[in-house]
Amino acid sequence: MAGSDKPQIYLLTPPEFDLPTFRDQLAAVLDAHEIACLRLSMATQDEDRLSRATDSLRETAHDRDVALVIDSHLVFARDHGLDGVHLVDGSRSVRTARAALGRDAIIGAYCRASRHDGMNAAEAGANYVAFGPVGASALGDGTLAERELFAWWSEMIELPVVAEGNLDTSLAARLAPITDFIGIGEEIWRQDDPAKALAGFVRALG
């Protein structure tokens, strides 16, 4: 798809949220925009909170035919009827996740800015790779997934690629011709009207 059609929106939850409030916000965004996939990306290690959020957001997403994956937690993905898992350790756990979740599960691998790790994830059987962050931030070590990485990937590798991390609309527009998915999360959730904020990104993607 990269290089031909405009990328689809890959939506991330915030790391922290009030569940009833966020569920309403999420429903409004999903009703207003076409979303390819939703990723539950909570920072909490509280199993009860994570369980309640998983079940609630799965219902919200699946009611609208949107796939839901979760960061890292294979057992949650399997036991809560999710569509798959997003691995944050590059290619290292892809084969383990595939064995645990089966051939039909969505397995994504976040590979930071490593072309090598991305290729290993593809070879191991990931359904997509994600590179990032693509925008500058004072957080992290300052390493960015540059436009050249996405340009090379879209030309050489068939596996879908996600661009994520500190996006703005101009950066999203620059990456649109060479990515399959644009990962949007806190960029919209910290705004008063997330659905309206996402509309700005959708317009930027063409």
**How far is residue 119's CA from residue 91's CA, in Å, rounded to a whole number?**
8
pLDDT in tens, 88-109: 999 999 999 999 999 999 999 9
pLDDT for 2: 43
E strand spans, 135-177: 161-164
Q: How many CB atoms lie within 10 A of CB 45?
A: 8
Show the domains of the chain with their CATH numbers: 8-204 (3.20.20.70)
* pLDDT at 5 (0 to 100): 82
pLDDT of residue 70: 98
When pLDDT is cut at 50, 70 and 90, the band that residue 140 belongs to is: confident
Contact 62, 82 (CB under 8 A): no
- The predicted structure's pLDDT at residue 138: 85
Give per-residue pLDDT as tens, 13-58: 999 999 999 999 999 999 999 999 999 999 999 999 999 999 999 9
Q: Cβ atoms within 10 A of the Cβ of 88, count? A: 16
As a whole number of angstroms, the distance between CA 26 and CA 62 comes to 12
pTM: predicted TM-score of the whole model, two decimal places? 0.96
Distance separating alpha carbons of residues 1 and 54, to the nearest angstrom: 30
Cβ atoms of residues 90 and 130 within 8 Å:
no
